[in-house]
Amino acid sequence: MNDEHWRAIVECDPASDGRFFYGVLTTGIFCKPSCKSRTPKREHVRIFASADEALRAGLRPCKRCQPHKADWRSPDEELALRVKQLIADCFPEPLTLGEIASRLHVSPYYLQRCFTRLMNCSPAQYLVHTRIEAAKRLLAETRLSIAEVAMQVGFRTGAYFAHVFHKQTKQTPTQYRTCAERNEQEWP
């Protein structure tokens, strides 16, 4: 075991997950580097390249971090997925960062920091993107007015919707609808 492995174990570094696993020989348990279990003594730790290697060495997986599961996600990744699902389900509602955080039982600051780090955009930006994509579908597939589309996707006014839509797509909603209709007519 080198110092980099030990640092990752002591700091519970999620960035090291998947690169190696560590086993605690005195307990017979192996973990991911990000496991929040008590830090073992360094002399009792052995490094493994894979979960299978640790299992073959006779160690059992930690019940807390479940390193043997191929589809594991860090708590931050789970939170980001929950935010995305909440936005997908509730985007027409007037969602704020505080409202999303409250529904997921986390602080707004933590939610903002975590989501932005993993998704490369803020929850608010993701919400706007989701609303614009839904608006594109409605504009292309229905004859709803621009104001009705705006209301159905969660914007309070047609004017603000048109402004945001243009900023995101470089087209007005009417231009987008016209282009979508032209493209439909060109298909045989």
Out of 31, 35, 62, 114, the active site residue is: 31
Whether residue 88 contacts residue 71, with contact meaning beta carbons closer than 8 Å, is answered with no
Listing DSSP states for 95-144 in one string gives --HHHHHHHHTS-HHHHHHHHHHHHSS-HHHHHHHHHHHHHHHHHHH---
Residue 31 among the catalytic residues: yes
Distance (Å, whole) CA 24 – CA 168: 52
Catalytic residues: 31
